[in-house]
């Protein structure tokens, strides 16, 4: 798969637009109010915000798993099945199925046989470094490897947009760093667009070029922090003064969002 490089921010084509999006649950829980967000092709966006500010709800609306109460979500050129890959906090693998069968799932749901999509499955597993584990079962894998399978499953349809809902939050720090590095390498190879939900200022700065900071009650965009550090980002970036400055900036923005309602910052 050959793909052109990602243009600099400001020169990217639009992928989708969320305009004046509201989501109300049970008639009275206002999860999102007047959410506006433009997502461009190649963006790596982190949604950062306090618990309950509607980050997961925003992802579910974009994924089409749920419908907004009002407002529009518009894809440039429309959207097809397979355009979106989703990775959740838990790997959500079928324990009775092999790695290969788990990664097959999105194609299987579209009526394709394992034989038909075997090459795509192998490609996705290679992307996450697990091509030798096709026939393994989830119980034989570490937590980090299970998450890689989950990422391969999201990649297997070659989606235009990958949605990740706190995918590494349950992993230990070392595995998390390793998967952060690998995710950036993957993004560099695939030139894909990613929206990544996290509670971690450090993770959002390391990964993204745009941090969308959300405020709660009701959930909305509070501010946006641009992370203009060049990719590839390495351990050198993680220990640089520039990284520390950007973390401070993102942390201030997060505290600002929390103070909009007098909440206590915990990130
Ligand atoms: N299915 C649902 N029914 C009723 N209320 C819901 C539902 N899903 C979410 N909510 C409410 O909507 C608000 C936003 O929830 P959401 O899970 O999107 O926030 P979040 O920012 O992802 O939180 P966290 O960081 O804790 O995962 C919360 O008040 C939550 O209780």
The residue to mutate among 27, 56, 215, having the most atoms of ligand 1 within 8 angstroms of its beta carbon, is 56
Cα of 3 to ligand 1 centre, how many Å? 36
Q: What number does the ligand 1 atom closest to the CA of 197 have?
A: 22
Q: What is the pTM of this model?
A: 0.93
pLDDT tens digits along 127-178: 999 999 999 999 999 999 999 999 999 999 999 999 999 999 888 999 899 9
Q: What ipTM was estimated for this complex?
A: 0.97
Closest atom of ligand 1 to 54 CA is 18
Distance 219 CA to ligand 1 centre (A): 9
**What pLDDT does 209 receive?**
95
- pLDDT at site 261: 62
Q: Which residues contact 267 (CB under 8 A, 6 or more apart)?
A: 48, 50, 199, 200, 201, 251, 254
257 closest CA partner among 216, 225, 198: 216
Q: What is the structure's pLDDT at 119?
A: 95
CA of 49 to the centre of ligand 1 (A): 12
Q: What is the pLDDT of residue 157?
A: 92
Do 249 and 36 form a contact (C-beta atoms < 8 A)?
no
Given a cut of 50, the residues of the chain with pLDDT beneath it are: 1, 262-267
| CA distance linking residue 161 with residue 241, whole number of Å | 32
CA distance 55 to 214: 8
Quote the pLDDT of residue 80. 79
Strand partners, 84: 161
Measured N-to-C along each axis, helices 99-108 and 143-155 cross at an angle, to the nearest 10 degrees, of 30
Ligand 1 site-directed mutation target among 26, 31, 214, most atoms within 8 Å of CB: 31
Closest residue CA from atom 16 of ligand 1: 54
**pLDDT of amino acid 134:** 96
pLDDT for res 263: 47
Of all protein residues, the one whose alpha carbon is nearest to atom 28 of ligand 1 is: 52
Which atom of ligand 1 is closest in space to residue 199's alpha carbon? Answer: 25
Does 52 contact ligand 1 (Cβ within 6 A)? yes
Question: Atom of ligand 1 at shortest distance to CA of 219?
Answer: 14
Q: How far apart are CA 264 and CA 233, in angstroms?
A: 31
Residue 178, CA distances (Å) to 35, 61, 95, 114, 234 in order = 33, 29, 24, 30, 11
Instruction: State how far the Cα of 122 lies from the Cα of 114, in Å rounded to an integer.
Output: 11
Burial class (CB in 10 A: 0-12, 13-18, 19+), 53: buried
């Amino acid at each position: 798969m050959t793909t052109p490089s990602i243009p600099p921010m400001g020169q990217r084509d639009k992928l989708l637009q969320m305009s004046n999006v509201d989501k109300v649950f049970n008639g009275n829980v206002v999860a999102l109010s007047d959410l506006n967000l433009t997502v461009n092709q190649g963006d790596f966006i982190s949604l950062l915000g306090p618990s309950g500010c509607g980050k997961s709800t925003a992802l579910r609306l974009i994924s089409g798993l749920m419908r907004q109460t009002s407002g529009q979500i518009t894809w440039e050129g429309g959207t097809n099945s397979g355009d979106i890959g989703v990775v959740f906090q838990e790997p959500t693998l079928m324990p009775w199925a092999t790695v290969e069968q788990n990664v097959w799932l999105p194609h299987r749901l579209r009526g394709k046989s394992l034989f038909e999509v075997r090459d795509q499955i192998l490609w996705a597993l290679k992307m996450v470094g697990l091509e030798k584990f096709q026939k393994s079962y989830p119980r034989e894998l570490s937590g980090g490897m299970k998450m890689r399978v989950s990422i391969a499953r999201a990649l297997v349809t070659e989606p235009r947009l990958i949605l990740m809902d706190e995918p590494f939050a349950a992993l230990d720090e070392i595995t998390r760093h390793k998967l952060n590095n690998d995710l950036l390498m993957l993004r560099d190879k695939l030139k894909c667009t990613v929206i990544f939900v996290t509670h971690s200022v450090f993770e959002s700065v390391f990964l993204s070029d745009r941090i969308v900071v959300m405020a709660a009650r009701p959930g909305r965009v509070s501010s946006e922090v641009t992370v203009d550090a060049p990719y590839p980002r390495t351990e050198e970036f993680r220990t640089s003064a520039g990284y520390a400055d950007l973390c401070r900036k993102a942390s201030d923005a997060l505290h600002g969002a929390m103070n909009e309602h007098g909440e206590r910052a915990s990130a």
